[in-house]
Structure 1
Amino acid sequence: MLSLDFLDDVRRMNKRQLYYQVLDFGMIVFSALMIWKGLMVITGSESPIVVQNGHIKFLTKGDNNAVDDRDLCTQGQHWLEKKDVVGRARGFVPYIGIVRILMNDYPKFKYAVLFLLGLFVLVHRE
C-alpha cells in the first residue's frame, strides 16, 4: 500500500531544513507562475496554451496537395485578404494541450499531481 516513510524524513529535519524545503517549493511554484505569465506576455493571450473545440478552417498551400483548399472559402472568394487572416502559427508542440484538458476535466487529477509534486519537493533535500 502507501508507504509513509517520507514522514520520518520530514520529522528528522531541523527547522532550518524544513524552512528551506518550504522556500524551495515556493520557488518552484512561483517559477512556474512566472513562466506562465511570461508566455502570456509573449503570446499576447490570456491563456498561452489554448484548446478550442470550435471550427477554424485553414486555407493553405504547401501542405503537399496539388491545389489550394478553395472549397474552404465562401462562394466566389478566390483569395484571402488581410481582414480574413486571424492568426499565424509560430510553432507547434504536439499534445501539450492534453495536459490542460486533463487538469480541467479531472480536478482530482490536478490536485493529485500538485500533491505529488509538493511531496517530491519536501522529501528530496537537494
Structure 2
Amino acid sequence: MVRAGAVGTHLPTSGLDIFGDLRKMNKRQLYYQVLNFAMIVSSALMIWKGLIVLTGSESPIVVVLSGSMEPAFHRGDLLFLTNFREDPIRAGEIVVFKVEGRDIPIVHRVIKVHEKDNGDIKFLTKGDNNEVDDRGLYKEGQNWLEKKDVVGRARGFLPYVGMVTIIMNDYPKFKYALLAVMGAYVLLKRES
C-alpha cells in the first residue's frame, strides 16, 4: 500500500492547469484549438447578424430587466423582437425603445398614437405596472416617441430564460466562476 505523500507516487492533475495543457500540445494541436474557438465565435456572430437581417431589429433578442411590465412580462423574460418599418405602430402594442442619453432600451406598451396626414407617427408609452406614462423617462423636453426610437416590437417570449444574463451582470464574480466551471468541464471532457 502506498500513501499519497510517498516517494514515487504521482497524483493526477485536476484539469485546471490550462497553461500546462497548452504547453503539452504541439503546434498543430494548438492551431486546431484556436481555429475551433474562432469558428465558434464567428458562427455565433453570423447567427446574430442573420437574426438582425431577418427581423429588421438591431437587437432581435432582449432581456426584460425590471418589473415595470408585470404581469405581461417579468424580470428575466427573454423577448423576441421584429422591427419592420412598414408595420404601423398601434396602441396596445409592446415596443422596445431607446431614449437619447440612456444606454439600455426600455420595454413598455404604447398607450397613445398620434398619426398625421403625411404619415408621421408619434406615440406615448407606459409600463403596465407603472402609475404614470413614460414622459419622465424621455429626454428633457421630449413628450412623444417617434418610429426612429423603436428598437423592436415584442413578438414572443421565453419566461425567465434571461435570468442568467441578469445574474451575470448583477454579480460579476458569478460570471467568472461560471466561465471557470465551463473551462474545467471542457478540459476534463477532453482528457477522458
TM-score range, shorter chain: 0.5 to 0.7
The residue that corresponds to 2:170 in the other structure is 105
Cα offsets for 1:31-90 (capped at 9, x unmatched): 22333343344261436122131533789xxxxxxxxxxxxxxxxxxxxxx631333653
Q: What aligned pairs does 1:45-84 form with structure 2 within 5 A after superposition?
A: 45-46=58-59, 48-56=61-69, 83-84=90-91
SS in 2 for 1:91: strand
2:157 & 2:68 partners in 1: Cα distance? Answer: 19
Query: Is the contact between residue 102 and residue 109 of structure 1 (CA under 8 Å) also seen in structure 2?
Result: yes
The residue that corresponds to 2:25 in the other structure is 13
Unaligned runs of 5+ in 1: 60-81
Query: 2:161 corresponds to which letter in structure 1?
Result: I
Aligned to 1:38, which of 50, 56, 74?
Answer: 50
Aligned to 2:35, which of 16, 19, 23?
Answer: 23
Q: C-alpha displacement at 1:18, in angstroms?
A: 0.7
Q: 1 or 2 for the larger relative contact order (CA 8 Å, sep ≥6)? A: 1
SS in 2 for 1:90: strand
Query: 1:51 corresponds to which letter in structure 2?
Result: V
The residue that corresponds to 2:150 in the other structure is none
Cα offsets for 1:85-121 (capped at 9, x unmatched): 3336533323211121112112222233334445627
2:180 & 2:16 partners in 1: Cα distance? Answer: 16
Query: 1:124 corresponds to which letter in structure 2?
Result: R
SS in 2 for 1:96: coil
Relative distance call for 1:106 and 1:43 in structure 2 (3 A) is farther
CA RMSD of aligned residues (A): 3.7
Query: What is the TM-score of this pair, normalised by structure 2?
Result: 0.40
Query: Is the contact between residue 25 and residue 118 of structure 1 (CA under 8 Å) also seen in structure 2?
Result: no
2:181 & 2:42 partners in 1: Cα distance? Answer: 17
Q: Which structure: greater strand fraction? A: 2
Query: 1:39 corresponds to which letter in structure 2?
Result: L
1:30 & 1:118 partners in 2: Cα distance? Answer: 19
Q: C-alpha displacement at 1:12, in angstroms?
A: 2.7
Relative distance call for 1:107 and 1:5 in structure 2 (3 A) is closer
The residue that corresponds to 2:14 in the other structure is 3
Unaligned runs of 5+ in 2: 1-12, 73-88, 95-152
2:60 & 2:180 partners in 1: Cα distance? Answer: 23
